[in-house]
C-alpha cells in the first residue's frame, strides 16, 4: 500500500514540475497539467496562477474536510487547543472529501494570492470537519514522508512555473486535552471520533516563495519638429500611434495606442526580454535612431519602427523606449489635396498644415488651419463652388507642398499666373468678371495643379504612402 501511494503521488508531482500548473481543481490528484496558456496570461505579471494544497489521508472518514485561514501566530511544538483559541477565519477556503487513503487536493489559489499580496499575514491553514461530523479524518504529518505540500504555480517569461512547498510546521489540537501539544506526532486529525468526543483540528503552515515583481516598458512618441532624433522641450507628443509589444521570440503580446499626450505603457509584465514596434502614421517617417548620448530623450525606432530587444528586470519600469516622427522633407515630392484636407487639424490625423502657414495666394492670405481647411474643401466663398474656388483649392495644396519642401519648378510659371488671377479676381467674379477664355485658363491651371499634387507632373507623389504613382 505504501509503495503504491508513492507511485501514485510522485509521477503527478513530477509531471506538474515539468509541464506547468495543474488546472484541475477537484479534490483528488489529477493527471498531467494543461500545457496551453494564452498570451494574455503572459501579461498577467508574476502573479500566482494557482495554489493547491496536498494532504495525504491516512485514515479515511468519508467526510468533507474544510480548509480555513488561520488568523494568528502559533508554534508547532507549543500550540495547544487553549493557546490557539480558535484563531481562524470562519468562512472556508475550500474542502476535500476524505473518502479514501491517498492524496487529496484543495484549490487555495485565492488564499495564496492574499498571502503573497500582503492582504493578510501567512499564519497557515486549519483543517476541520463541519460541526459534530464523525468519525474523524487522519492525515500524515510532515514528520513522515507524505508531508502536507502546497504547490504554487506562477507565470514567468518562459511560461508557467510551479514550486512545491513542504509544510514547515504542522500539528493537531484537541479540545479533550486542551493544554497538550502534538507537534511531533506522525498523524494529524480533524473532526470527532463519535458523539461523545470533542473536536480535533489540524494546523499546517508553509513558507511562501518570493515571486518576481512585475516590470513595465514605455513610453513616448513625439513629433520631432527639427528631425534631429532628440526630444526637444518644444516638441509635442503624437496621439493615437499604435505600439505593439513583442517578446524576443517575436510573439506579439499586446497592442495599444499612445494617449493624447503621446504616451504608452505596457505594465504588469513578467520580467524578461521584450521589444516594441511603433506603427508609422501616414505621411511620416521615423526620426534618426539613437542620436545623442541620453537614451531617455532619443528615438529608439529603426526604419521599420522596431526597437532592439531589452531585458526588463523584476520591478523595473523602463521608460526609455521612444519614437520620433516627422514629415519627410527635402525629397521634393508632392502630396494630394486629399492629404492636406485630412491634415488640417479637423480629424483623427495630426495637423501638419499649421506649421507651413502663412501662405499667400494672390490677394488671399491663409494664416491658420481653419482658413486652409475651408479653402481645401471649397467652402470659403459662401455660394457653390466654381472655377476660381477650385483653382484656389488646388493652388493652396501646391503651395503647401512647396512649403513642405516639394520642388515647385515644374509649375513655376503656373504659380505666377495663379497669383495674378487671384490678385485680380475674387471667387465672386466667376459669374460676371471673367471672360470665357479666362475661365478656360483658370480651369486649365486648376488641372495642371491637380496633376502636380497627384504627382503626374513635377517631382512625383511622395512614395511613403506606398501608392503607385
Ligand atoms: Ca509536526
Ligand atoms: Ca528634436
Ligand atoms: Ca531611448
Ligand atoms: Ca521616454
Q: Is the dihedral of CA 138, 141, 144, 150 positive or negative?
A: positive
Residue 212 · residue 46 · CB < 8 Å: yes
Helix (H/G/I), strand (E/B), else coil: 94: strand
Percent of the residues in the chain that have a pLDDT greater than 70, as a whole number: 87
Higher per-residue confidence, 45 vs 437 = 437
The number of the ligand nearest the C-alpha atom of 221 reads 4
The number of the ligand nearest the C-alpha atom of 287 reads 2
User: What mean pLDDT is predicted for residues 14-27?
Assistant: 36
Kindly state whether residue 456 falls inside one of the protein's structural domains.
yes
pLDDT of residue 22: 39
46 has pLDDT over 60: no
Higher per-residue confidence, 252 vs 156 = 252
Rounded Cα–Cα distance for residues 69 and 65 (Å) = 13
The number of the ligand nearest the C-alpha atom of 78 reads 1
Q: 249-269 pLDDT, tens per residue? A: 999 989 999 999 999 999 888
Distance 321 CA to ligand 3 centre (A): 5
Residue 442 · residue 387 · CB < 8 Å: yes
Q: Per DSSP, what are the bridge partners of residue 140?
A: 187
287 and 228: one domain? yes
200 and 222: one domain? no
pLDDT of residue 368: 94
Average pLDDT, the chain: 86
pLDDT of residue 145: 95
Instruction: Tell me which of 205, 236, 263 is where a domain ends.
Output: 205
User: What mean pLDDT is predicted for residues 309-336?
Assistant: 87
314 and 432: one domain? no
Distance 282 CA to ligand 4 centre (A): 23
Distance 224 CA to ligand 2 centre (A): 4
226 and 136: one domain? no
222 and 354: one domain? no
The number of the ligand nearest the C-alpha atom of 76 reads 1
Distance 170 CA to ligand 1 centre (A): 4
430 and 397: one domain? yes
Crossing angle between the packed helical segments 412-424 and 436-453, to the nearest 10 degrees = 130
Element (H, E) at 370: helix 369-376
pLDDT band, very low/low/confident/very high, at 329 (cuts 50, 70, 90): low
Distance 322 CA to ligand 4 centre (A): 5
Distance 122 CA to ligand 1 centre (A): 17
Residue 419 · residue 413 · CB < 8 Å: no
132 and 254: one domain? no
Residue numbers of the domain that contains 442: 337-465
Kindly state whether residue 449 falls inside one of the protein's structural domains.
yes
Kindly state whether residue 210 falls inside one of the protein's structural domains.
no
Distance 222 CA to ligand 4 centre (A): 10
17 and 119: one domain? yes
Kindly state whether residue 332 falls inside one of the protein's structural domains.
no
Residue with cell 507623389: 461
pLDDT band, very low/low/confident/very high, at 463 (cuts 50, 70, 90): low
User: What mean pLDDT is predicted for residues 413-429?
Assistant: 94
Residue with cell 467652402: 379
Residue 206 · residue 199 · CB < 8 Å: no
Q: Per DSSP, what are the bridge partners of residue 96?
A: 65
The number of the ligand nearest the C-alpha atom of 261 reads 4
The number of the ligand nearest the C-alpha atom of 147 reads 1
Kindly state whether residue 361 falls inside one of the protein's structural domains.
yes
Rounded Cα–Cα distance for residues 390 and 62 (Å) = 90
Q: 179-238 pLDDT, tens per residue? A: 999 999 999 999 999 999 999 999 999 998 877 788 999 999 999 988 899 999 989 999
Kindly state whether residue 231 falls inside one of the protein's structural domains.
yes
The number of the ligand nearest the C-alpha atom of 225 reads 2
Distance 27 CA to ligand 4 centre (A): 49
Distance 41 CA to ligand 4 centre (A): 26
Task: Write b or e for each residue in 417-455: b if 16 or more Cβ atoms lie within 10 A of its Cβ, otherwise e.
Answer: ebbebbeebebeebeeebeeebeebbeebbebbbbbbbb
270 and 166: one domain? no
CATH number of domain containing 241: 2.60.40.10
pLDDT band, very low/low/confident/very high, at 365 (cuts 50, 70, 90): very high
Residue 356 is classified by DSSP as: G
Instruction: Tell me which of 172, 205, 238 is where a domain ends.
Output: 205
φ/ψ region of 19 (left if φ > 0, alpha if ψ in -120 to 50, else beta) reads: alpha
33 and 182: one domain? yes
Residues with CB under 5 A from ligand 1 (ion): 141, 170, 183
Torsion of the alpha carbons at 298, 300, 304 and 305, rounded to the nearest 10: -90
Residues with CB under 5 A from ligand 3 (ion): 295, 298, 300, 320
**Parallel, antiparallel or unpaired: strands 125-128 and 159-166:** unpaired
Instruction: Tell me which of 291, 326, 361 is where a domain ends.
Output: 326
Residue 420 · residue 362 · CB < 8 Å: yes
pLDDT of residue 214: 84
Comparing 146-160, 210-224, 383-397, the range with the smallest average pLDDT is 146-160
Crossing angle between the packed helical segments 387-403 and 412-424, to the nearest 10 degrees = 130
233: Cα within 13 Å, side-chain hemisphere: 0
Higher per-residue confidence, 409 vs 398 = 398
Query: How far is the CA of 134 from the CAs of 6, 128, 305, 407, 427, in angstroms?
Result: 28, 11, 69, 95, 100
The number of the ligand nearest the C-alpha atom of 77 reads 1
285 has pLDDT over 80: yes
94 has pLDDT over 70: yes
User: What mean pLDDT is predicted for residues 401-416?
Assistant: 89
Distance 298 CA to ligand 4 centre (A): 8
Burial (Cβ within 10 Å: 0-12, 13-18, ≥19) of residue 188: buried
Rounded Cα–Cα distance for residues 241 and 439 (Å) = 45
Comparing 137-146, 167-176, 291-300, 343-352, the range with the smallest average pLDDT is 343-352
pLDDT of residue 399: 95
User: Which segments of 15-82 are extended strands (E)?
Assistant: 48-59, 63-70
Rounded Cα–Cα distance for residues 395 and 361 (Å) = 7
**Parallel, antiparallel or unpaired: strands 317-326 and 215-223:** parallel
Higher per-residue confidence, 8 vs 345 = 345
Rounded Cα–Cα distance for residues 237 and 220 (Å) = 7
pLDDT band, very low/low/confident/very high, at 60 (cuts 50, 70, 90): very high
Distance 57 CA to ligand 1 centre (A): 15
Kindly state whether residue 331 falls inside one of the protein's structural domains.
no
Domain count for the chain: 3
Query: How far is the CA of 303 from the CAs of 222, 231, 277, 320, 356, in angstroms?
Result: 16, 18, 11, 18, 25
418 and 347: one domain? yes
pLDDT of residue 374: 94
Element (H, E) at 1: none
User: What mean pLDDT is predicted for residues 399-423?
Assistant: 91
Phi, psi for residue 242 in degrees, rounded to 5: -75, 130
User: What mean pLDDT is predicted for residues 399-404?
Assistant: 91
289 and 392: one domain? no
Kindly state whether residue 257 falls inside one of the protein's structural domains.
yes
Residue with cell 489529477: 30
Rounded Cα–Cα distance for residues 86 and 69 (Å) = 11
Give the cell for residue 289.
535612431
Residue 205 · residue 192 · CB < 8 Å: no
Amino acid at each position: 500500500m505504501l509503495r503504491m501511494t508513492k507511485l501514485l503521488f510522485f509521477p503527478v508531482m513530477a509531471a506538474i514540475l515539468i509541464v506547468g500548473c495543474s488546472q484541475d481543481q477537484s479534490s483528488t490528484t489529477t493527471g498531467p497539467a494543461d500545457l496551453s496558456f494564452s498570451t494574455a496570461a503572459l501579461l498577467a505579471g508574476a502573479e500566482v496562477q494557482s495554489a493547491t494544497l496536498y494532504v495525504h489521508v491516512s485514515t479515511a472518514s468519508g467526510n468533507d474536510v474544510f480548509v480555513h485561514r488561520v488568523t494568528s501566530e502559533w508554534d508547532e511544538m507549543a500550540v495547544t487547543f487553549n493557546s490557539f483559541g480558535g484563531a481562524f477565519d470562519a468562512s472556508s477556503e475550500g474542502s476535500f472529501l476524505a473518502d479514501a487513503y491517498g492524496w487529496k487536493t484543495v484549490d487555495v489559489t485565492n488564499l495564496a494570492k492574499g498571502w503573497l499580496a500582503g492582504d493578510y499575514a501567512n499564519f497557515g491553514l486549519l483543517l476541520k470537519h463541519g460541526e459534530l461530523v464523525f468519525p474523524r479524518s487522519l492525515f500524515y504529518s510532515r514528520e513522515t514522508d507524505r508531508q502536507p505540500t502546497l504547490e504554487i504555480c506562477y507565470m514567468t517569461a518562459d511560461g508557467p512555473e510551479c514550486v512545491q512547498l513542504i509544510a514547515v510546521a504542522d500539528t493537531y489540537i484537541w479540545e479533550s486535552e486542551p493544554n497538550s501539544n502534538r507537534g511531533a506526532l506522525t498523524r494529524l486529525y480533524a473532526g470527532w471520533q463519535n458523539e461523545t468526543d470533542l473536536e480535533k483540528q489540524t494546523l499546517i503552515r508553509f513558507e511562501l516563495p518570493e515571486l518576481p515583481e512585475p516590470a513595465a516598458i514605455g513610453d513616448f512618441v513625439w513629433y520631432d519638429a527639427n528631425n534631429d532624433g532628440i526630444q526637444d522641450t518644444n516638441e509635442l507628443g503624437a496621439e493615437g500611434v499604435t505600439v505593439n509589444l513583442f517578446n524576443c521570440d517575436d510573439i506579439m503580446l499586446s497592442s495599444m495606442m499612445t494617449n493624447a499626450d503621446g504616451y504608452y505603457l505596457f505594465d504588469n509584465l513578467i520580467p524578461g526580454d521584450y521589444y516594441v514596434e511603433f506603427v508609422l502614421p501616414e505621411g511620416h517617417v521615423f526620426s534618426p535612431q539613437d542620436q545623442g548620448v541620453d537614451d531617455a530623450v532619443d528615438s529608439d525606432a529603426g526604419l521599420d519602427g522596431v526597437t532592439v530587444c531589452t531585458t526588463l528586470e523584476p520591478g523595473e519600469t523602463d521608460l526609455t523606449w521612444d519614437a520620433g516622427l516627422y514629415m519627410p522633407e527635402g525629397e521634393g515630392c508632392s502630396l494630394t489635396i486629399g492629404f492636406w484636407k485630412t491634415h488640417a487639424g479637423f480629424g483623427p490625423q495630426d495637423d501638419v498644415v499649421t506649421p507651413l502657414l502663412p501662405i499667400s495666394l494672390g490677394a488671399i492670405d491663409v494664416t491658420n488651419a481653419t482658413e486652409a481647411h475651408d479653402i481645401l474643401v471649397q467652402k470659403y466663398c459662401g455660394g457653390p463652388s466654381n472655377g476660381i474656388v477650385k483653382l484656389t483649392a488646388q493652388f493652396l495644396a501646391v503651395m503647401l507642398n512647396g512649403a513642405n519642401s516639394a520642388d515647385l519648378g515644374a509649375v513655376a510659371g503656373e504659380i505666377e499666373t495663379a497669383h495674378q488671377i487671384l490678385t485680380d479676381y475674387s471667387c465672386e467674379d466667376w459669374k460676371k468678371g471673367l471672360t470665357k477664355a479666362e475661365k478656360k485658363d483658370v480651369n486649365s491651371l486648376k488641372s495642371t495643379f491637380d496633376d502636380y499634387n497627384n504627382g503626374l507632373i513635377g517631382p512625383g507623389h511622395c512614395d511613403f504612402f506606398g501608392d503607385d504613382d
